[in-house]
Structure 1
């Protein structure tokens, strides 16, 4: 059973690393927003995995709070964001 926990930890770490790279290298604000949502979802999966591993359900309250804050933040950023300039028009008069 320890191999299952190890494999899930490695996969969650890899997913967090890839989404963090996309968050830092994203060319637009929506790319970064999707990467941030992915990172929060991976974090929620990691908390859920840890709760299952440790058999401690007190962490589920943090999952609920994180889900609500993430949803409200994503909706507000998507609603009030300023459009990015078109990358193909750079350098043209």
Structure 2
């Protein structure tokens, strides 16, 4: 009796968590929010399959849970690598822009367009 009540409560909580993750997936401001919510939804699917296996007292869904877990892991890993590469490229571009701007100002021109005499003072 208590076990069935707890399992029912668990199903309701999993459904609520999946709905909240689905909301984040549709309204997420960034792509990373959507990817993370998809990973959460896959985790909820695995938890739901686990609860189904507990309720029916069998282990036939174990291979399905394993495959879904591996797909979720691979998706999270590939998204993390993609965003790490994207961040690295952004940082490299910003570094190049900063070094180019520094090189332009050190090539004999001050920030207001005047040329310098080599010692940092503006030439007149």
TM-score grouping bracket, smaller chain normalisation = 0.7 to 0.9
Q: Does 2:36 correspond to 1:63? A: no
| TM-score for the superposition, normalised by structure 2 | 0.62
User: What are the within-5 Å matches in structure 2 for residues 73-88 of structure 1?
Assistant: 73-81=75-83
Counterpart position of 1:41: 43
Deviation at 1:5, TM superposition (A): 1.8
| TM-score for the superposition, normalised by structure 1 | 0.81
Determine the C-alpha separation between the residues in 2 that align with 1:4 and 1:39. Answer: 21
After the TM superposition, list the runs of 4 or more consecutive aligned residues in structure 1 that deviate by more than 2 angstroms: 80-83
Deviation at 1:78, TM superposition (A): 2.2
Match of 1:14 among 16, 31, 48: 16
SS in 1 for 2:61: helix
Identify which of structures 1 and 2 has the higher relative contact order when contacts are C-alpha pairs closer than 8 Å and 6+ apart: 1
**Alignment RMSD:** 1.4
Q: Cα deviations across residues 12-55 of structure 1 (Å, max 9, x unaligned)?
A: 11011001000110000111111111111111111101101111
Structure 2 unaligned spans of 5+:
88-124
- Which structure has the greater CA radius of gyration? 2
Count, aligned residues: 83
Determine the C-alpha separation between the residues in 2 that align with 1:71 and 1:49. Answer: 20
